[in-house]
Structure 1
Amino acid sequence: MMRTIFLLLLLTGVAVPATAQRPAGYPRSYDALIAEARVERVVDAYGNADTAAMAPTIAAFRRAFPGVRVNYVELESRDLYRRAVSETRARRPSADLVWSSAMDLQAKLINDGFAQAYQSPEKPALPQAAVWKNMGYGVTAEPVGFVYNRRLIPPAAVPRTHEAFERLLRDRRGPLTGRVATYDPTRSNVGYLYLTEDYGTTRDTRGLLQAIAATRPLLSRTTGPMLDAVASGRAAIAYNVVGPYALARARRDARIGVVFPRDYTIVASRVAFIARDAT
C-alpha cells in the first residue's frame, strides 16, 4: 500500500524526498512502509483528469520511486465508478488509487465500502471539509466559470454574474442560438453535479437554464470540445466550465477569456481514496 500512499501524498502537494525517505515529521513506522514500497513494482490509479495534466505528478512519483511504475488509466467519471465497483465485486485486479472530480460518486464509493481508511499525517494541515471519514481526500479546489470567445463577446458584454449571463442570453438570443456550450447533464456526471450545486444555491437557476435551452446549446460530455468550440468561434460562450482546464487553455490561446462569477462560484474538488483491496 505504501506506493499508493505516496502517490496520494504527491496529489496533495507534499514534498516526497527523491530517495524515498520518510518525510520530515512522519512517524517512524513509515520506514517499514517505505521498505515495502521498494519491493513493489507498479501502482494502478484510475482518474478522470486528463493524462497530460497528470504527467507532472506521475513524473514526481517516478523520481521518488524509480523502480515503481504508475499505470494511470483515464476514464469518464461514470465509467470509473462502474469499473471500480464491478472489478471489486468480481474480485478482479483493480485500481490502488481512485481519483475523480465526481465528488458525489466518490462519496458513494466510500460509503458503500470500496475505500480503506488512511489517517494521513498531513490531515491537520488540510481544511476539515477536505477529508471524509479518513478515506476520501479532497486534493484540489477547482472553481467553475464561464468561458467566452473574446472576438464574439466584447468586454462590455462579458457576464460577471449568473444573472448577467441569463440577461445576455435573453437579449442576444438570435445571435447566440446554437452558439452556447455546456455539459450534457445526461452524459456528464460532473455537469450534472454542477447543476445540482446551482439549484442548491439559488432558485433563479431555473430561469437561467431556460434561457440556455432557448439557444439550442451545444452539449458536451467533456471539457475539451467546449473549449475547442469557443476558441474556434463555433460557440461564443460556455457555461459551468472546469476552471483549471479553461485557464490553462486561455494561457496559450488568446481567443479565450475566462470569468469566475461574482455572485457565487462553485468550487469542486477531486477526491482521492485508496481502494479497499489495495495492498
Structure 2
Amino acid sequence: MTHRPLSRRAALCQLGGLAAAPALAQPADELLDYAPRARPPEGYPAAYATTVRAAEDEGRLSIHSTTDERVAAPLVADFRRLYPRIAVAYEDLGSTELYHRFIAENQLGREAADVLWSSAMDHMVALATAGHALAYASPEQAHLPAWAQWQDRLWATTYEPVVFAHHKPSLPEGEVPRSHAALARWLAGAQGGAVSYDIQKSGVGYFLAAQDAAASEATFWATAQALGAGRARLLLNTDAMVRQIADGRARLGLNLLGAYTVAQARERPALGVVFPEDYTLVTSRVLLINSRAAHPNAARLWLDYLLSRRGQTVMATAARLYALREDATGETTGAALRQLLGSRARPVALGPGLAAPLANAAYRDFILRWRAALGYWKG
C-alpha cells in the first residue's frame, strides 16, 4: 500500500440519493431510508435474506485494509450498488499499523473495525488463533481451493505472485537475476542499487522474509548479507519500491507484491517484472471478520461479495488484483497465473504454522540475525 502520514483517512461512502416518496403501503422502517432493499445473490440459500436484512438494519461497515483505497474503490463501489443501504468506511493502513492498532483497540475495549483485510498473512493467522476472528461458513466456499480458508475464520481472497522488479535501462534483460540464488549472486557483485523491505517495520516484509528463509535458509541469509554489502535501501511497501525502480533511483527490487508491480509495469515502460524461476511465492490478501464486530452481518456480506464470481471479476478488471477463483475473468486472474507459473508456483496455505515466526523469541532472533547480516543497518 502507499505509505502516507498516519492520519485518519476513512472514506465514508454515504447512502444513495433521495428517491421519490415511498408508497403508504411500504413497511414503516423503510420510510426511514429511500434506498431500495437488496435481494440475496442468485443461487444463495433462501435464509440468506435474513442476513441481508440484518446487515441493512446495521447500516454500516468498517474495513481496515492494507489494500490502497484507490485500488479497493471499484470493489467498494460495486458492493454498494448491491447493498445501497450499507455505508462503508474504508481505511487503508500499513500492515504493522493495522495489526497493532487492532490489538490496542481490543485491549482498551474500543470499537475496532468489523473487517480486517491484510497481505500480512501471518498477522491474520495470529489474530485468528488468539480468538479475534468470527467463524462464518461462506456460501462461496465451494468455489475456493482447500488451502484458501482456515476453520471458517480466515479467508484468502486473492492469488498474488511475489516478484522481482528491475529498471530496464540500467539493468539489461541478460543481466537480470531470475532465481533467488541468482539474485543473491547479483547482489554480492553489484555496487548498490537494490531496494527491499525493512522487515522490522513492514509486516508484509517480515512475512515474506520468513517464507524465503523457510524455502532456502542458506540463500536467504546470503541475500541478506549481500543487501548489507551493497547498502540496499530499505523501504516500507511495494509502492515505494516500484517508484524508485521505475524512475531509476534503484536498479533492482525483491519481494514486491505482484499485483501492484504488474499493474505499474503496464504504465511505466522502464519497469521490468520477473517471476522467479526456482519458485514464486503466491500469497493472498486475507480477510477476517472481527469476533466483536459491531456490524457482523454487513461484514458477512462483504466477505461473500469478495469471494463471489462478481467480486472476483471486479478484482481482476477494475482493481487489477489477482483473482482467486477459477471462473473469474479479467486481466489478472489466478487461473492465468497458474498457467504461467506451472510447478514453480508456491502458494502459502493458511494455517496456524504461519504465526510461528511471530512468537516473541522467534521474532527477536530472526530480526537480530537479519540486522547482523545487513551489518550497516542502524535503525
TM-score normalized with structure 1 length: 0.89
How far is 1:128 from its partner? 1.2
Local SS of the residue matching 1:46: strand
- Counterpart position of 2:237: 222
Alignment of 1:149 with 2:171, yes or no, is: no
Alignment of 1:65 with 2:83, yes or no, is: yes
- Counterpart position of 1:6: none
How far is 1:191 from its partner? 0.8
How far is 1:257 from its partner? 0.5
- Counterpart position of 2:131: 113
CA contact (8 A) 2:37 2:85 kept: no
Matches within 5 A, 1:124-163: 124-163=142-181
Q: Which runs of 5+ in 1 are unaligned?
A: 1-17
- Counterpart position of 1:253: 268
CA contact (8 A) 2:116 2:287 kept: yes
CA contact (8 A) 1:19 1:64 kept: no
Distance 2:62 2:263 in 1: 27
Percent identical among aligned pairs is: 37
Distance 1:198 1:93 in 2: 36
Distance 2:107 2:138 in 1: 27
Matches within 5 A, 1:1-279: 20-171=38-189, 173-174=190-191, 177=192, 179-202=193-216, 203-278=218-293, 279=295
How far is 1:212 from its partner? 1.9
- Greater C-alpha radius of gyration: 2
After superposition, the C-alpha distances for 1:166-215 in whole angstroms (9 at most, x for unaligned) are 222233x23xx2x1000011111111111111110013222222222211
Distance 1:169 1:93 in 2: 46
How far is 1:19 from its partner? 6.9
Distance 1:269 1:63 in 2: 25
After superposition, the C-alpha distances for 1:82-113 in whole angstroms (9 at most, x for unaligned) are 22122223332221111111111100111111
- Range 252-261 or range 206-215, more displaced: 206-215
Question: Size of the alignment, in residue pairs?
Answer: 258
Q: Which amino acid aligns with 1:248?
A: A
How far is 1:277 from its partner? 1.3
Local SS of the residue matching 1:35: helix
Local SS of the residue matching 1:266: strand
After superposition, the C-alpha distances for 1:121-156 in whole angstroms (9 at most, x for unaligned) are 111221111111111001111111111001011111
After superposition, the C-alpha distances for 1:13-39 in whole angstroms (9 at most, x for unaligned) are xxxxx9732223322111111122222
What is the RMSD of the two structures over their aligned residues, measured on CA atoms? 1.5
After superposition, the C-alpha distances for 1:236-257 in whole angstroms (9 at most, x for unaligned) are 1101111111011111110100
CA contact (8 A) 1:85 1:114 kept: no
Q: Which amino acid aligns with 1:84?
A: F
Local SS of the residue matching 2:152: coil
TM-score normalized with structure 2 length: 0.66
- Counterpart position of 1:4: none
Segments of 4+ in structure 1 off by > 4 A? none
- Range 21-30 or range 229-238, more displaced: 21-30
Distance 1:43 1:54 in 2: 14
Q: Which amino acid aligns with 1:159?
A: P
Q: Which amino acid aligns with 2:117?
A: W
Distance 2:254 2:202 in 1: 14
Local SS of the residue matching 1:204: helix
